[in-house]
Structure 1
Amino acid sequence: MSEQLPGLDLAALTPWFAEHVDEVGDGLTAELIAGGKSNLTYRLRAGEREWILRRPPVGRLLATAHDMGREYRMMSALGQTAVPVPHMYGYCDDADVLGAPFYVMEAVTGTPYRRADELRPLGPERTRAISERLVDTLAAVHAVDPAQVGLADFGRAEGFLGRQVDRWRSQFDAAHTRDLPDMIALHSALAQRVPADGPAGIVHGDYRLDNVLFDADDQPAAVIDWELSTLGDSLTDVALMSVYDRMGKLAPGAVSDVAAAPGYLDEHEMLARYAAGSDRDLSDFGFYVGLACFKLAGIVEGIHYRYVNGQTVGEGFASVGDMVNPLLGAGLTALAQA
């Protein structure tokens, strides 16, 4: 077996793995996959075979974040649709095994593009196609009828946007390490602008380019990282995708800058392509951008909280909190311009 990894005890995992996934004797090894700043993701190996294991971060968790059961159930349900997701092997909610719930899924071969430098060698044509397929895949997710795949009770769509505003304020409060005046201002502005309920649909909750694996033919092989998925207003995904593409300008060097790659769709092109493949109303998109900035700032503040309290695993956390105030400011600007 491989060296002990934080959050993963292979000796404790192996009996469960043999019962629910495959009998591998004492040949199971693991490595922590770099890049994640939220749930921990490990690549398991036994000979030529590979699997992926996901579990929450070690230490104190924030409210409803890091729900392994929800992530597992969503991908299991979408496995019967046109949305590309990994095959799910098994879910464990017995804390005696690894100290937290976890699941094991297929190791899909594909590339999660995180940097413009990874896209530039592909050329503008391939980069444009990848960004178009990113948008088309999101439209396909939103076209799924939750009831038809057994997800009618997966979330409460009524009042979703108002609850999101309150939820992310609660996450800020739970991760308090410093005063953030713009957080209070943005929360107040959003609370006063909540639109009426729109059509209910699946919400990925963290949709961006590196949460879609692309195969060698530049086709989406799998949409991953469904830990924040629910039912609600799917336009929140579109806005979050747009804000992720702005983040390279908000905090250069600290976030993904894929939108800077030649050929990558700009925000106007992305919204136009999504609108062409969806019947959702984008007329109040400024609110959704403001909410996306608030949510993303809340996620980042949670990571910053864990870093400050010594609860993170891996590198790259020291400056992550620097993104919070630029995101809050961008949210206030989006609301003012809407």
Structure 2
Amino acid sequence: MTVVGLDEAAVTAWITELGVGAIPPLRFERIGNGRSNLTFSVRDSGGARWVLRRPPLGTLLASAHDVVREHKILTGLQGTDVPVPKVLGLTEDPAVTDTPLLLMSYVGGIVVDDVAVGETLSVERRAKIGASLTDTLASIHAVDLESAGLNDLASHKPYAERQLKRWAGQWEKSKTREHPGVDELAARLHRSVPAQVETRLVHGDFHLSNVITSAEDGHIVAVLDWELCTLGDPLADIGALLAYWPQAGDAFAGPFMASTLEGFPSRQELAAAYFAATGRDAAALGFWHTLALWKIGIIAEGILRRVMNDPRNAGKTPPSSKLVDDIIERALAVADEAGL
């Protein structure tokens, strides 16, 4: 079966020539729930396995889904305390591909990307995964930017203002309809921007579905999907983790429901563990939680737009305008709770 988005013969030749020990023929299979950069499993005839990434199909917004940038980030993180796959190759050769391709090592383990996977884990294992999430996030925010070669990854100007400008622009370029809630949140966030006291590496999309956990003890063995990584306020990441973390009793459902299972920490417990580990001030957390939900709503709208433009970009769960509406409704509720 032909894999959409790859010239299998040309990519096979490229991987074989990298010297990673690949024995052709190679088999390619799209994996994961992601609808941003596309991820493929690569297997050779000897049983070895790798992971390949490329941007989505069709027309993309400027600066979005930059696989070359993702390569720079992962290369910089090699040898740090942040668990990431090993970078094996990058190609922009038009004889191989129409977009950049990034080859990485395969990391075995469990990705808790739906409730069914979470239900296979013990309550104790779920608790260990929750604890490892905040420890891993703290390690990301402790990266020395200079030694990792990432000090020039992005602007050092105040992050909140940059995010508000960027995602308001993304909304205008990708929206499928008008949405008063998105506009109201933008206005409320603009009025409530907190002062930035430090500039750190920010993952930009850190949540349960974007990490691989050990099959033995639940600790995180790899952090994935670095395409939104930038420099900025580290509280943005803990706000995003909470935004992607539904818990039992929430009025709003969503696509990331595994965290509602017994054993996973509550949002309050996650935040408390992060701030205890890092010693940071939690005063602005409500702002960053709200901004993260607003941004996720815009991202979901962008996915909807991409699938409308090219149905080949659809993942396992078809996007919907109702999902965007639910996320924005939850963002407004969090903004109310935070007094924004």
Quickly name the TM-score band, shorter chain normalised.
over 0.9
The answer on whether the counterparts of 1:190 and 1:291 sit within 8 Å (CA) in structure 2 is yes
Residue 337 of structure 1, CA deviation: 2.2
Secondary structure, counterpart of 2:271 in structure 1: helix
Q: Mind listing any 5+ residue stretches in structure 1 that lack a counterpart?
A: none
Secondary structure, counterpart of 2:96 in structure 1: helix
**CA distance 1:144–1:250, shift in 2 (3 Å):** farther
Q: Which residue of 1 aligns with 2:244?
A: 244
Q: 1:299 is aligned with what amino acid?
A: I
Residue 247 of structure 1, CA deviation: 8.2
CA distance in 1, matches of 2:22, 2:211: 29
Residue 250 of structure 1, CA deviation: 6.0
Secondary structure, counterpart of 2:294 in structure 1: helix
Q: Which residue of 1 aligns with 2:2?
A: 4
CA distance in 2, matches of 1:107, 1:31: 13
Query: What pairs up with 1:179-190 in 2 under 5 angstroms?
Result: 179-190=178-189
1:93 paired to 2:92: yes
The answer on whether the counterparts of 1:92 and 1:101 sit within 8 Å (CA) in structure 2 is yes
CA distance in 2, matches of 1:250, 1:75: 37
Residue 83 of structure 1, CA deviation: 1.1
The answer on whether the counterparts of 2:203 and 2:228 sit within 8 Å (CA) in structure 1 is yes
Query: What pairs up with 1:101-250 in 2 under 5 angstroms?
Result: 101-217=100-216, 218-246=218-246, 249=250
CA distance in 1, matches of 2:223, 2:162: 25
Q: 1:86 is aligned with what amino acid?
A: P
1:273 paired to 2:273: yes
Q: Which residue of 2 aligns with 1:334?
A: 334
CA distance in 2, matches of 1:318, 1:251: 18
Give the TM-score, by structure 1 length: 0.93
Residue 23 of structure 1, CA deviation: 6.1
Please tell me the root mean square deviation across aligned C-alpha atoms, in Å. Answer: 1.9
**What do residues 25-71 of structure 1 show as CA deviations (whole Å, max 9, x unaligned)?**
64112111142221111111112111100001100112222010121
**What do residues 276-321 of structure 1 show as CA deviations (whole Å, max 9, x unaligned)?**
1113221021110111011111111110001222344345454433
**Percentage of matched positions with identical amino acids:** 35
Q: Mind listing any 5+ residue stretches in structure 2 that lack a counterpart?
A: none
Q: Which residue of 2 aligns with 1:292?
A: 292
CA distance in 2, matches of 1:250, 1:318: 22
Secondary structure, counterpart of 1:90 in structure 2: strand
Q: 2:282 is aligned with what amino acid?
A: L
CA distance in 2, matches of 1:240, 1:71: 19
Bigger CA drift: 128-137 or 22-31?
22-31
**CA distance 1:312–1:166, shift in 2 (3 Å):** farther
The answer on whether the counterparts of 1:120 and 1:127 sit within 8 Å (CA) in structure 2 is no
**What do residues 98-123 of structure 1 show as CA deviations (whole Å, max 9, x unaligned)?**
21111000011011102334223422
Residue 266 of structure 1, CA deviation: 0.3
Give the TM-score, by structure 2 length: 0.93
Matched residues, number: 335
Q: 1:9 is aligned with what amino acid?
A: D
Secondary structure, counterpart of 1:63 in structure 2: coil
Q: Which residue of 2 aligns with 1:304?
A: 304
**CA distance 1:280–1:21, shift in 2 (3 Å):** farther
Q: 1:209 is aligned with what amino acid?
A: L
Q: 1:14 is aligned with what amino acid?
A: T
**What do residues 1-41 of structure 1 show as CA deviations (whole Å, max 9, x unaligned)?**
xx321101111212322333446464112111142221111
